[in-house]
Structure 1
Amino acid sequence: MSVLSPARIVAFEMVSERRRRGAHMRDLLRTSRAMSGLAPRDRALASRLTLGVTATVGALDAMIDSHLRHGVHIEPRVRDALRVSCYELCWLDTPTAVVISQGVELVRRVVPRAAGLANAVLHRVSEHDIAAVCEAEHRIYEGSSDLLAKDIAIACGMPEPLVYQLLASCGEEVCRECALAHLQPAPVYIATNLAMLSPEEAVRRMQQARLEVQPLAIPGSWQVTNPARLAPSGLVRNALVFPVDLAAQMVARIAGPLPGQRVLEVGQGRGTKTLLLQMAALEQGGLAEIVSIDSEDYKVRLASSRMAVAGVSAHTQNLCFDASQLDSPQLPAALSGGFDMVFIDAPCSGTGTLRRHPEIVWGLSRASVMAHRADSLPALQLRMLRAASQRVRPGGSLAYATCSLLKQENTGVVQAFLESSEGRSFEQVSVLEAPAVRSLSDEAYGLVASCVTSEGYFASHPRVASFDGHFCALLRRV
């Protein structure tokens, strides 16, 4: 009888807790005392297991069920333990014998009488499913797949309908790159708070915290190679640095205002993009005047507190307001009049950030991204864009952004807007014309330009050891 590793015990408990509570796995990981108590190597394994199980849960259940006798039902906690072990068997490099031994002991710890069943299921998975996953991955890597959608579904543990949507929007080559990156750890990027730290002081603080960082082309951006040290450092808590994907930082550059300009941010969330917008303005010589709205009051309170800690609250207002009502004749004083820049960080499917938000993979409904449905995300995005556009002053700019890869949420929404009565007074311009992009160094400008389409849209996608998928369109009121 082998001794269970702490990482697998914690991973199992986290998977079970998520099933019971329906919470986001990253939120659970962030607040878990058990996770923080693990040694760095165990913490890394537990994180890979929990996020991986969440991203492949539907495929794992189908795999487990295919190896059970007809009519056999297993207890939820036994299934949770099998999910952890089946994921490790098929998608990690742990020796098969070790995984099976640990998996049997994990089930024995939960329901002792089910250890024999676990042994049988895990052996069948090792005999049948590991090879299927590896062969699908190989065909994707070699570019030799005749049934790409099926191979991506197998290799990534994704539902086939989602894969077909991604193929229709992105094409085969982009989907291959996304597939190869899907179950790999997402890089950790940070931006520094120039309102509180000089670049030299930022480097000194990170060295004091023993963070291993690499400077990136975008000013104030870094990649962290030992992210387990980030939370204990206090740098995030004190708003000295902001964890944020590099592509999201590039989007904030596209919407970046000039000092003193009046900005309306729609969809503030926790306020990360608000801070990035202010950093872009500060690099040009001073802070902008930003009014940020969100429809959820608790997010507004959180963002307000974060702005105060970050030292920019005197130049930022945070309001709870429904963006679809921005064309109303009766508006709060802070929202009246015209803005130099309106930036819409739209609610979306999140299909460009599946590595960071694995619940989306099996939780996204097909109906939610059907543009013709009145209750779909594209319909909501278009309503927000049409209403928010009314707050742009003549000659001002309108930036529309998502973290989706789906055409119907990105170019589809922009084109529908331009054809609407509100959109007829706008023209699309290349994102490379944005002032905070034009002011970048040649290297940084080249990085942004590498993600710009022939139509002038910003459209990144996940790659191995690289940033996420984000979209941004820049429009100008004429």
Structure 2
Amino acid sequence: MARPSGARPGGRRKPAPRRPVDPPRAAAYDVLTAVRADGAYTNLVLPQVVRQYRLAGRDAAFATELASGTIRRQGTYDAVLAACVDRPLAKVEAKVLDALRLGAHQLLATRVPPHAAISTTVDLVRGKVGQGPAGFTNAVLRRVSERDLDAWLRRVAPAADADPTGFASVAYSHPAWVVEALAEALGDRAAELDDLLAADNAAPRVTLVARPGLASVAELVAAGGEHTRWSPYAVELAGGDPGAVDAVAAGRAGVQDEGSQLMAIGLADAPVEGDDRRWLDLCAGPGGKAALLAALAAERGAGLLASERQPHRATLVARTTASASAGLIGVVAADGTRPAWREGSFDRVLVDAPCSGLGALRRRPEARWRRTPADLDDLVPLQRALLDSALASARPGGVVAYATCSPVLAETAGVVAPVLARPDVTQVDAAAVLPEVTDAAGPLPGTLQLWPHRHGTDAMFLALLKRS
């Protein structure tokens, strides 16, 4: 008697052949794993993984959206998944949880049809983890697919009127302490909090900088860019690989958020008394601001010294600034709190201090899950020490720019206010130096605070100080 098709001797069926894992989803999954297990940064590991999978065009864009979107909305998805599993999420294998979050993102925040989101995630788990967890993944995602995002939020988020911070934390996928810190930073405009949190979850457009004397905005526009609102050197790309732009590939232009460009421009345009020949970037890594400053310095007959404490990052600064070498005094690996130069050596000093990064959550989505309030206990003293060092490095009549990519008050007003009480320090009105930037009053008079929801930039803070 003939055996049924697909049956083995003894009546056992052959297992169904495994379907190939979809490359964009596999790439996104690998990014999630690298961020979770290796401490990688999303914006750095993504291009590497995309190249590894040889993705281009729509596939590369899809992988980018899946990875970045999943990490941004992880808090929301974890709340939903917790309602769909029979155990604490901490008991779910980490590799499976990565896939569940990826599937939840497709179901709740994209136009991927539910059957495709579920089946491809099951295939992913089967191929990356094993057959055993595939059935569990299928069951959980089917439960997730029973409601849309709004319906899930009504079920899993605290009531907004009873616990506004708790609701915002789940609905906008920010830890509660971050929600509170951002609300405090908004001050009397705390009603904008929902807009700010939503902007943190929006994918940023790629912004290029045309380094003066090396590339022009017109050249970047001709390569597919669009003019921006604030920086005279900025162009936004509608899509595509920025590395394919000739000026970027040659180092004459670079990828740089418009807010970061404004920090460098603010220092370069602030008034100084007397000589204007020696500039310093005290915390130069990875080199974007240093490259723009060096290009500006070259046009004005000045030179920039770029200093970075970590030698490997100093090497990266040297590579980034190579095309602007005409305005570069050099790159040194030095601790900014223990200067390797004489006091009063520079006319202009930038201290772009290490910070929590909570103003750059659009581009560094993992920062919200890695940072804790305790980090400020280490960061704020370092920021104060670096600002003191920057002021000592500037000559009398010289100017210092203190910048952070965080709006948290402890890292902005909390660092600058004590310095303004010193008799040898006066303030330069940043709004007067950058008059084209509107609606950007900082937490202290004369300071500048950018916001993603108002300006489309990272939430950069700027204070301009002068040695008197």
TM range (shorter): 0.7 to 0.9
In structure 1, the residue matched to 2:375 is 368
Residue 303 (structure 1) aligned with residue 317 (structure 2): yes
Tell me the amino acid that sits aligned with residue 278 of structure 2.
Answer: R
Stretch deviating more after TM superposition (185-194 or 115-124): 115-124
Aligned to 2:15: none
In structure 2, which of residues 203, 214, 232 is the aligned counterpart of residue 185 of structure 1?
203
Is 1:292 aligned with 2:294?
A: no
Q: Which shows bigger deviation, 358-367 or 147-156? A: 147-156
User: CA 1:260 to 1:71, structure 2 compared with 1: closer, same or farther past 3 Å?
Assistant: closer
**Match for 2:457 among 461, 467, 470?**
467
The answer (yes or no) to whether the contact 2:282–2:306 under 8 Å persists in 1 is yes
Task: Give 1:278 deviation, angstroms.
Answer: 3.3
SS state of the match for residue 126, structure 2?
Answer: helix
Residue 262 (structure 2) pairs with residue 250 (structure 1): yes
Equivalenced residue count is: 442
Instruction: Provide closer, same or farther for how the CA distance between residues 91 and 149 of structure 1 changes in structure 2, counting only shifts above 3 A.
Output: farther
CA deviation profile, 1:308-363 (whole Å, cap 9, x unmatched): 2x13255332111111123xxxx44xx45432222111000011100111111100
The answer (yes or no) to whether the contact 1:186–1:355 under 8 Å persists in 2 is yes
CA contact (8 A) 1:195 1:312 kept: no
**Displacement of 1:281:** 4.3
In structure 2, relative to structure 1, the CA distance for the partners of 1:287 and 1:62 (3 Å cut) is farther
Q: Which amino acid aligns with 1:184?
A: A
Change (3 A) 1:467 1:33: closer
Structure 2: any 5+ residue segments left out of the alignment?
1-17
**Residue identity matched to 2:451:** H
**C-alpha offsets along residues 113-141 of structure 1, whole Å, 9 cap, x if unaligned?**
323211221122233572356669x999x
Alpha-carbon distance in structure 1 between the residues aligned to 2:80 and 2:439: 39
Is 1:449–2:467 an aligned residue pair? no
Q: Cα gap change, 1:219/1:133 in structure 2, threshold over 3 Å: closer, same or farther?
A: farther
Question: Using the alignment, how far apart are the partners of 1:88 and 1:191 within structure 2?
Answer: 33
- Shift in Å, 1:411: 0.8
| Deviation for aligned residue 1:244 | 0.7
Match of 1:81 among 95, 99, 110: 99
TM-score in terms of structure 2 length: 0.85
Q: Distance in 1 between matches of 2:98 and 2:146?
A: 21
Once the two structures are superposed, residues 166-201 of structure 1 have per-residue CA deviations (whole angstroms, 9 ceiling, x without a partner) of 21222423422211212211121111122323x3xx
Q: Describe how 1:17-28 pairs up with structure 2 within 5 A.
A: 17-28=34-45
Q: Which runs of structure 2 are paired with 1:310-329 in the superposition (5 Å)?
A: 310-313=323-326, 315-326=328-339
Letter in 2 for 1:307: T
Deviation, 1:51, is 1.3
Deviation, 1:99, is 1.9
Matched, 1:114 2:142: no
Classify 1:131/1:217 alpha carbon distance in 2 versus 1 (closer, same or farther; 3 Å). closer
Q: 1:68 to 1:432 in 2, by over 3 A?
A: closer
Contact kept in structure 2, 1:247 and 1:470, CA below 8 Å = yes
Shift of 1:377: 0.8
- What amino acid is the match of 2:134? A
CA contact (8 A) 1:132 1:154 kept: no
Which runs of structure 2 are paired with 1:127-138 in the superposition (5 Å)? 127=146, 130-132=149-151
- Which of 346, 363, 388 pairs up with 2:353? 346
Structure 2 Cα separation of the partners of residues 36 and 214 of structure 1: 32
Q: Give the SS at the match of 1:394.
A: strand
Post-superposition CA distance 1:456-475 (Å, at most 9, x none):
21101112892111000011
2:11 alignment counterpart: none
Relative to structure 1, the CA distance from residue 344 to residue 78 in structure 2 (aligned partners, 3 Å threshold; closer, same or farther) is same
> Greater relative contact order: 1 or 2 (C-alpha under 8 angstroms, separation 6 or more)?
1
How far off is 1:294 after superposition? 1.2
1:399 to 379, 397, 401: 401
Task: State the AA in 1 paired with 2:439.
Answer: S
Q: Distance in 2 between matches of 1:38 and 1:341?
A: 44
Matching of residue 238 in structure 1 with residue 250 in structure 2: yes
Letter in 2 for 1:113: G
2:304 and 2:327 in contact (8 A); partners too: no
- Determine the C-alpha separation between the residues in 2 that align with 1:21 and 1:55: 18
- Per the TM alignment, residue 260 of structure 1 is displaced from its structure 2 partner at its CA by 4.6
Write the letter of the residue equivalent to 1:233: V
Q: Which moved more, 1:72-81 or 1:116-125?
A: 72-81
Following superposition of structure 1 onto structure 2, how do residues 251-290 of structure 1 map, counting pairs within 5 Å? Answer: 251-256=263-268, 260-281=276-297, 285-290=299-304
Which amino acid is 1:379 matched to? P
Higher-Rg member (1/2):
2
In 2, the alpha carbon distance for the partners of 1:217 and 1:33 equals 31
Shift of 1:234: 4.3
1:431 maps to 2:420: no
Identity %: 27
Contact 2:296 2:327 in 1 (8 A): no
Distance 1:217 1:60, change over 3 A: closer
2:79/2:170 contact within 8 Å kept = no
Amino acid paired to 1:397: V
Asked whether the equivalents of residues 268 and 345 of structure 1 are also in contact (C-alpha less than 8 Å), the reply is: yes
1:67-216 matched pairs, under 5 angstroms: 67-70=84-87, 73-110=91-128, 111-127=130-146, 130-132=149-151, 147-171=163-187, 172-197=190-215, 199=216, 203-204=218-219, 207=222, 210-214=223-227, 216=229
Residues 165 and 205 (structure 1 numbering): CA distance in 2 closer, same or farther, change over 3 Å? Answer: closer
- Letter in structure 2 aligned against 1:77: K
Distance 1:312 1:34 in 2: 30
Q: 5+ unaligned residues in a row in structure 1: which ranges?
A: 438-444
Compute the TM-score of the two structures, normalised by the length of structure 1.
0.83
- Structure holding more helix per residue: 1
Structure 2 distance, partners of 1:266, 1:133, is 47
Pair 1:275–1:120, CA change in 2 (3 A) = same
Alignment-derived partner of residue 442 in structure 1: none
Whether the 8 Å contact between 2:81 and 2:140 is mirrored in structure 1 is: yes
> How large is the Cα RMSD of the aligned pairs?
3.0
